[in-house]
């Protein structure tokens, strides 16, 4: 199979979908890999490194997108919609439940779109989302602590405090991968940390993992209201795989927070768990509502692309190899990848995406079977020559 790796074009996105080592593995497996010139520069990987790994360097996005399968990091943006087509397999982060325009573009084009964030193991774990959740979780307290600086609109508070002065309060809503990694860094910075989660079993795990250094609370509106006035920093770390994040902090609740406190909503990719959040970029990462600083950068791991690219590529490679060998067979036979399929031949194949936009969801297995039957029928009625 021919596999394309285009340069990421989202603002301040420096990651690349595969490292030279991953490209080499794809080439050894018998695939041709087209890497757009400069695609790896932001992550510290030169064209020469990709060439030495067996890739063919191509000029321009169109050449990379012409491949049978395209590997990306971030979802296509409007200028890339023209590259979408029916005979394309797209393997990337998508976050469609928060992006109706992209969903419609994929459906119109008939693209087989497999989302990193919804590939799921039988035990519920999300293996391709995990590495970026780890990075984003660890970055969240760092960025939040920075924007607590007075000259950036924050309270002017040092998160870890100093001897004789109390440390800041970090409240983390969601105790999953993002939440636990945010807690690790916040504790390391010397903050007082509280994590809220709906799962009591998860709270038990967090209590054990942190040996009591983190306060745990059941996540519901009452406890969130109690914690908001105390929070110097609020980290949104809520995830419902493939679906839009619920608004657990409403606009009305925002008034409970201290002036100059900071919100870092890592779930902004899926719409955010704070009602007032909106996606921002590294150019203008924050905005202020009701005297509360909001940080909503939707590609936080792009700030540390060398680390992020290597962490992501290591996890996506085994699945990319499966898809490249035979996309339909992989999607039909591998339940992990099947859960990653979001759109196929004009059908929405993920319930969370369909629910977000009031569309009909077609089970992946049914969509794949229907498409294969249609292809067989078309081939049998085609005129011979």
Residues 6+ apart with CB under 8 A from 113: 90, 92, 94, 96, 106, 341, 342, 343, 344
What local confidence, expressed as pLDDT, does residue 372 receive? 60
Q: Are residues 294 and 316 in the same domain?
A: no
pLDDT at residue 239, as a whole number: 84
Range of the domain at 150: 137-303
DSSP conformational letter for 268: G
Please tell me the predicted confidence (pLDDT) of residue 270: 85
Contact yes or no for 274/293 (Cβ under 8 A): no
- The total number of structural domains that make up the chain: 2
Same domain, 265 and 141: yes
| Confidence (pLDDT) at 48 | 98
The DSSP secondary-structure symbol of 300 reads: G
Pick from 303, 332, 359: which residue ends a domain?
A: 303
Q: Supply the pLDDT for residue 385.
A: 47
Specify the pLDDT at position 244.
Answer: 86
Identify whether 88 is part of a domain: yes
Q: What is the pTM of this model?
A: 0.88
In a domain, 116, yes or no: no
Residue 159 shares a structural domain with residue 263: yes
Same domain, 240 and 356: no
For residue 163, tell me if it sits in a domain: yes
Contacts made by residues 108-111, CB under 8 angstroms, sequence distance 24+: 108/84, 108/346, 109/81, 109/84, 109/85, 110/85, 110/86, 110/345, 110/346, 111/84, 111/85, 111/86, 111/343
pLDDT of 3-61, one tens digit each?
Answer: 999 999 998 899 999 999 999 999 999 999 999 999 999 999 999 999 999 999 999 99
Looking at the structure, tell me whether residues 245 and 186 fall in a common domain.
yes
Taking the chain (385 residues) in runs of 10, the rounded mean pLDDT of each run is 97 95 98 98 98 98 98 97 98 94 97 96 93 96 97 96 96 96 97 97 96 96 97 94 88 96 94 95 94 95 95 97 96 95 96 94 92 50 50
Is there a domain that residue 115 lies in? no
**Are the beta carbons of 170 and 194 closer than 8 angstroms?**
yes
Instruction: Evaluate whether residue 119 is within a structural domain.
Output: no
Q: What is the CATH number of the domain that holds 207?
A: 3.40.50.720
The reply to whether 212 and 323 lie within a common domain is no
Residues 183 and 102 in one domain: no
**Within this chain, do residues 262 and 368 fall inside the same structural domain, yes or no?**
no
Indicate whether 184 and 315 sit together in one domain.
no
Pick the last residue of a domain from 246, 272, 303. Answer: 303
Contacts of 258 (CB under 8 A, 6+ apart): 155, 229, 231, 232
Question: Under DSSP, is residue 56 helix (H, G, I), strand (E, B) or coil?
Answer: strand
The DSSP element (H or E) to which 370 belongs, if any, is helix 364-381
Q: Are residues 270 and 309 in the same domain?
A: no
pLDDT of residue 379: 41
> Nearest-CA neighbor of 271 among 291, 253, 248, 293?
248
What was the pLDDT predicted at 374?
A: 54
Catalytic residues: 95, 269
Same structural domain, 144 and 280: yes
Let me know whether 233 and 204 are in one domain: yes
DSSP code, position 263: E
Beta-sheet strands, E only, within 80-210: 89-92, 112-115, 169-173, 192-197
* Domain-terminating residue out of 276, 303, 330: 303
pLDDT of residue 376: 42
pLDDT at 185: 98
The answer to whether position 126 is within a domain reads: no
């Amino acid at each position: 199979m021919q596999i394309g790796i285009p340069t990421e074009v989202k603002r301040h996105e420096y990651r690349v979908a595969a490292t030279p080592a991953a490209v080499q593995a794809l080439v050894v497996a018998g695939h041709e890999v087209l890497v757009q010139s400069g695609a790896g520069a932001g992550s510290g990987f030169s064209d020469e490194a990709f060439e030495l790994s067996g890739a063919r360097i191509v000029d321009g996005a169109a050449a990379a997108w012409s491949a049978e399968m395209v590997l990306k990091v971030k979802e296509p943006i409007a200028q890339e919609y023209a590259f979408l087509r029916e005979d394309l397999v797209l393997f990337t982060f998508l976050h469609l439940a928060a992006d109706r325009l992209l969903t419609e573009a994929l459906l119109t084009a008939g693209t087989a779109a497999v989302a990193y964030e919804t590939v799921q193991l039988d035990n519920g774990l999300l293996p391709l989302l995990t590495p970026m959740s780890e990075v984003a979780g660890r970055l969240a307290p760092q960025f939040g602590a920075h924007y607590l600086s007075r000259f950036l609109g924050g309270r002017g508070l040092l998160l870890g405090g100093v001897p004789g002065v109390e440390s800041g309060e970090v409240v983390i809503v969601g105790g999953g991968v993002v939440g636990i990694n945010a807690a690790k860094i916040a504790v390391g910075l010397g903050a007082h940390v509280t994590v809220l989660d709906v799962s009591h079993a998860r709270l038990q795990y967090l209590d054990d993992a942190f040996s009591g250094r983190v306060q745990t609370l059941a996540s519901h509106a009452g406890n969130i209201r109690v914690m908001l006035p105390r929070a110097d920093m609020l980290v949104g770390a809520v995830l419902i795989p493939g679906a839009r994040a619920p608004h657990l902090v409403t606009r009305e609740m925002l008034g409970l927070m201290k002036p100059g406190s900071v919100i870092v909503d890592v779930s902004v990719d899926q719409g955010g768990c704070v009602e007032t959040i909106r996606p921002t970029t590294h150019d203008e990462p924050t905005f202020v509502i009701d005297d509360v600083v909001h940080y909503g950068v939707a590609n936080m791991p792009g700030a540390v692309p060398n680390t992020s690219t290597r962490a992501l590529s290591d996890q996506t490679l085994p699945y990319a190899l499966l898809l490249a060998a035979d996309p339909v067979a992989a999607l039909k036979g591998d339940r992990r990848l099947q859960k990653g399929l979001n759109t196929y031949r004009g059908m929405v194949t993920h319930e969370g995406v369909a629910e977000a936009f009031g569309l009909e969801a077609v089970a992946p297995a049914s969509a794949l079977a229907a498409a294969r039957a249609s292809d067989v029928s078309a081939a049998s009625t085609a005129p011979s020559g």
